[in-house]
Amino acid sequence: MSKKRSDNKYRMLFGVMASAFVLLGADGVSAETLESALARAYGNNPELNAQRASVRATDENVARAKSGYRPRVNASADIGRSFSEYDRGAGGSNVNRLTPRGVGVEIEQSIFNGGRTLNAVRQAESAVLGSRETLTNTEQNTLFDAATAYMNVLRDTAILDLQRNNVEVIDEQLRQTQDRFNVGEVTRTDVAQAEARLAASRSQASLAEANLRTSIAQYRQVVGVEPRQLAPGRPLDRLLPRSLEAAIRIAIESHPAIKAALHSVDVAELQVKIEQGALAPQVGVAGSVQQRYDNQISGDNALSASITARLTVPIYDGGAAYASTRQAKETVGQRQLEADSIRDQVRAATASAWGQLEAARAQIAAAQAQIDAAETALSGVREEARVGQRTTLDVLNAQQELLSARVNLIQAQRDRVVASYAVVQAMGRLTSRALGLAVNHYSPTIHYEQVKDLWGGLLTPDGR
């Protein structure tokens, strides 16, 4: 292969890589954009959908807690058979065969239970808010994983193309070296060096192919479909603040993981009040209505009704309520420490992502400069090799330097996009609404409003 043909092959492939347009399927299929891949992940990802189901299940705790305000109604029925015989002496005996039976209804209504129901409702509502923040955090993680998988497929496909092209270039280099060896211009050592480099390049191409298969599998796992045509991925610069300090401030104020942790603190504090409520007096009302038949003599019936107000004052339960209250207070301390830890983690993640973003920007500039220098060096080494001033190994090394520079640029371009998404995720703003994705945005409040005040019913709002 001539120098001109080799350079043209590299330039053509690098043009494809630089545009980051990767074809992975049949012709005629419309290109998948990064935004459309994120939209697919938003709707299809099983982990995200499972978290949505978890939020809906948590909503039902509010209805369960509110049941403490409502009466308890029970119906009962019984039937039996009895036999009795009375000996009257000379007067004979009296035999009674009865079928005692009856039905009744009992109603109990709590009037005051130490604020346990009130605090249980507030606790359930705080848990719902916390579960929504956890859902938002899961949404962030899913969208970030999808963006990462998308860019990994782009990167690994471009690297595989470079490695395959490198195999062709070195294979042609080996043929040229073999021809020169046949006419006595180079030694057997030069041929062996080219053969060794060809074997190494084939190994790298196989590794690149394996890496691409792994990335495709991860894409399928997160997005839910196979990658077919992937358009260029762009950094998320429009959502980035101007400084690290601003990013950290936004993260501390709005990250859903921090908000979820604070709601967990509220839940724990309300649990203390619930446990303390067990030590307060309990006031309730109970009423009952019963209809009895054959209770004393055959054919009789009796209707009875009663209503009772009851005051229960706990005096001592063996210390269980006191232990539960102390335990709940310790849990509050634990949740507060966990919130502080999560706040520190978010701060560290934001700083780390910001540093990776700045490093990727610098790496892109360095890799582009490295490519320019490596192309110039390769051209010079080839010219010098033609006049005997450079060896075959020098040419192979120059080619490897250029290949490494181009791979570095691909990696840096991928890192630049992924790091921008990482910063937005660390700030707590990597959501479908913030990204403007063309999806039906899931609203957890719809299900909550449907079930929070339900008095009964076995079917879920969606009919299951």
Asked if 193 contacts 396 with a C-beta cutoff of 8 angstroms, the reply is yes
d(CA 441, CA 419) in angstroms, rounded, equals 25
d(CA 378, CA 390) in angstroms, rounded, equals 11
Predicted local confidence at residue 90, as pLDDT: 64
Domains of the chain: 3-80+97-451 (1.20.1600.10)
**Residues in Cβ contact with 361 at an 8 Å cutoff, skipping those fewer than 6 apart:** 416
Predicted local confidence at residue 30, as pLDDT: 66
What does residue 168 show for φ and ψ, rounded to 5 degrees?
Answer: -65, -40
Predicted local confidence at residue 6, as pLDDT: 45
The two three-digit tokens of residue 224, written as one number:
């839910």
Predicted local confidence at residue 37, as pLDDT: 95
Q: pLDDT (tens digit, 0 to 9) for every residue of the chain, 464 residues total?
A: 444 444 444 444 444 344 443 333 334 456 789 999 999 999 999 999 999 999 999 999 999 999 999 999 999 999 998 887 777 666 666 777 888 999 999 999 999 999 999 999 999 999 999 999 999 999 999 999 999 999 999 999 999 999 999 898 888 888 888 888 888 888 898 889 888 988 998 999 999 999 999 999 999 999 999 998 899 899 999 999 999 999 999 999 999 999 999 999 999 999 999 999 999 999 999 999 999 998 878 788 899 999 999 999 999 989 999 999 999 999 999 999 999 999 999 999 999 999 999 999 999 999 999 999 988 998 898 888 787 778 778 888 888 888 889 999 999 999 999 999 999 999 999 999 999 999 999 999 999 999 999 998 888 888 78
d(CA 432, CA 440) in angstroms, rounded, equals 9
What does residue 121 show for φ and ψ, rounded to 5 degrees?
Answer: -65, -45
Asked if 301 contacts 292 with a C-beta cutoff of 8 angstroms, the reply is yes
pTM for this structure? 0.85
User: Which residues, listed in sequence order, are joined to residue 292 by a DSSP beta bridge?
Assistant: 102, 302
The two three-digit tokens of residue 188, written as one number:
């057997």
